Amino acid sequence: MPKIATWIEEKLVPKLGALSNNMYITCIKDGMVGVMGLAIIGSFFLLIAYPPVPASWYETSNILKWIANNRTVVLMPYEATMNVIALFSVFGIASVYAKLNNLTPISMSMLSIVAFFMTMKWTPAISRPAIQKTIEVTAENIELLQQISPETIAIGQMITTFVGKSQNLGLNIPVEYLGSKGLFVGFLCVFTAGKIMTTFREKKWTISMPEGVPDAVGKAFDSLLPLLATVSLFGLLHLIPALLPTYFPEGIINLHTLLQKLFFWLPWIIDSYIGAFLVTFFISLFWVAGIHGAAMVNAFVTPVFIQFLHSNSQALINGEPIPHLVTNQFFMAFVWLGGGGATLGLALLLAFVARSEYLKTFGKTAIVPSMVNINEPIIFGTPIVANSYFIIPFILGPLVNMTVAYLAIHFELVNRTVATAMWTLPGPIYAFIATGGDWRAFVLFFVNLCLTTAIYYPFFKAYDNKLFSEENTPDSK
């Protein structure tokens, strides 16, 4: 075991550290943080629209009757958050990119959003025709009607004519790509626009304003040429099909469809036992190496998890079977009990079973944060990082939790997750909310807590005995 700890510290940590500091990964993981707040708000109103109560209650409760009859109104916050989440993600990631590269955040965000909108085909809306109506000819309207009527008319006569003018309703945006389906193309737009902007700045291909011009005006002109270049580049998505309509009958080079076809396998793998295993294993491994495992791995899987949550919540709204099992909420509810490594069981052992004075005192301090999924004190105070005593249970415990939860949900013993909540909610409450109010989620949570506590116990006991022995040797007093 000491050899494993040494290998992790000397070989693995430097490589993982370089990966976690990658600019693009940092942009995604930091830029998506704010987006999760929107998902929480959307899920809150989703649960209000579809409360976890028996169907018979709708017959007796006036409040539930009103909710059932006005679900479109209740779901508006959900529509305004989850259904345009890609747009907010582009804004957030572009802001982080700008800060890391000393660019103007507003200019960078606007540039990225313009690029994102240009990846979509805006189609003309159906024109609203003038209204055909039968009206009576009067002294007040006869002159006007004589101008538009081909026949001779008289006061008192009933004629059929068109009232009002035809209205052009503008353009339709494909809203589906503003939601979770547009996330990967959104990332591509941010990083392409960012590269253009940094290149123009480095080459000094900017419009310089004379002294005395307000700073805000100067920055606006600085971004003018990068904006022109970005619009021209993404404009090719429309120009090339216009020149070669035979090869592009859709009228656009659809990056969204193209990426979906290229990475069709990614959602399939993630939403499987193998995918859940890999996510659990690598998050735990990164934590053991002293790197924030969730932030690291989620930079890759969060876009897919958001798509899964969106699909599950839409299925709930439409009364359809919930399609996805492996979601971020699945992990938060049933795998990461107390945080990465499922350390809530270890925190209980430290606080109430330890003989070592240090572990007992520390455990009583760390138990409350662990109950709300904050386990950095456990990870760095026990410590877990590069500690040969805890490498095995820290990785094995979450894998056991994941396997038990996967089987329980797969065999429909517990509902699939359809909503999200604040990650700092105590585990059983989070699990209840995430599953749409399934009481069996409580049972599954406590079953997994007992399992991980049992897995940690022999390793905790060995470490506790070691510290207890050291504390009671003559040299330590």
Q: Is pLDDT at 119 greater than 70 in this prediction? A: yes
Res. 285 pLDDT band, cuts 50 70 90:
confident
pLDDT confidence of residue 14? 63
CB atoms within 10 A of CB 192: 16
Res. 187 pLDDT band, cuts 50 70 90:
very high
Stretch 406-433: mean pLDDT = 93
Q: What angle do CA 373, 374, 379 make, to 5 degrees?
A: 115
pLDDT confidence of residue 207? 75
Q: Is pLDDT at 66 greater than 60 in this prediction? A: yes
The C-alpha atoms of residue 428 and residue 17 are separated, in whole angstroms, by 33
Res. 7 pLDDT band, cuts 50 70 90:
low
pLDDT confidence of residue 244? 92
Stretch 253-266: mean pLDDT = 88
C-alpha pair distances (Å), 58 with each of 66, 172, 317: 9, 37, 16
Res. 22 pLDDT band, cuts 50 70 90:
confident
pLDDT confidence of residue 12? 60
Nearest one of 166, 164, 162 to 133, comparing CA atoms:
162
Stretch 59-84: mean pLDDT = 89
Nearest one of 401, 381, 398, 395 to 285, comparing CA atoms:
395
Stretch 17-42: mean pLDDT = 81
> Is 169 strand, coil or helix?
coil
Q: Is pLDDT at 475 greater than 90 in this prediction? A: no
Residue 263 vs residue 431, higher pLDDT: 431
Q: Is pLDDT at 417 greater than 60 in this prediction? A: yes
The C-alpha atoms of residue 212 and residue 71 are separated, in whole angstroms, by 55
Q: Is pLDDT at 88 greater than 60 in this prediction? A: yes
DSSP annotation string for 35-65 = HHHHHHHHHHHHHHHS-SS-TTHHHH-HHHH
Q: Is pLDDT at 32 greater than 60 in this prediction? A: yes
pLDDT confidence of residue 96? 94
Q: Is pLDDT at 391 greater than 60 in this prediction? A: yes
Q: Is pLDDT at 60 greater than 90 in this prediction? A: no
Res. 26 pLDDT band, cuts 50 70 90:
confident
> Which range scores top for mean pLDDT: 22-36, 88-102, 126-140, 250-264?
88-102
Q: Is pLDDT at 383 greater than 70 in this prediction? A: yes
Res. 147 pLDDT band, cuts 50 70 90:
low
pLDDT confidence of residue 140? 75
pLDDT confidence of residue 262? 86
pLDDT confidence of residue 268? 92
**At what angle are helices 23-31 and 33-49 packed, to 10 degrees?**
30
Average pLDDT over all residues of the chain: 85
Stretch 117-126: mean pLDDT = 81
pLDDT confidence of residue 286? 82
Nearest one of 158, 228, 165 to 200, comparing CA atoms:
228
Sign of CA dihedral 430, 435, 438, 444: negative
**Which residues does 9 contact at the CB level (< 8 Å), separation at least 6?**
289, 386
pLDDT confidence of residue 148? 59
The answer to whether the CB of 288 falls within 8 A of the CB of 393 is no
Res. 30 pLDDT band, cuts 50 70 90:
confident
Q: Is pLDDT at 166 greater than 70 in this prediction? A: no
Res. 141 pLDDT band, cuts 50 70 90:
confident
Per residue in 302-347, pLDDT tens? 889 999 999 999 999 988 999 999 999 999 999 999 988 999 999 9
- Runs of H (alpha helix) within 50-141: 57-60, 62-69, 71-74, 76-79, 85-100, 105-117
Q: Which residue has the tokens 């690598």?
A: 282
Residue 15 vs residue 202, higher pLDDT: 202
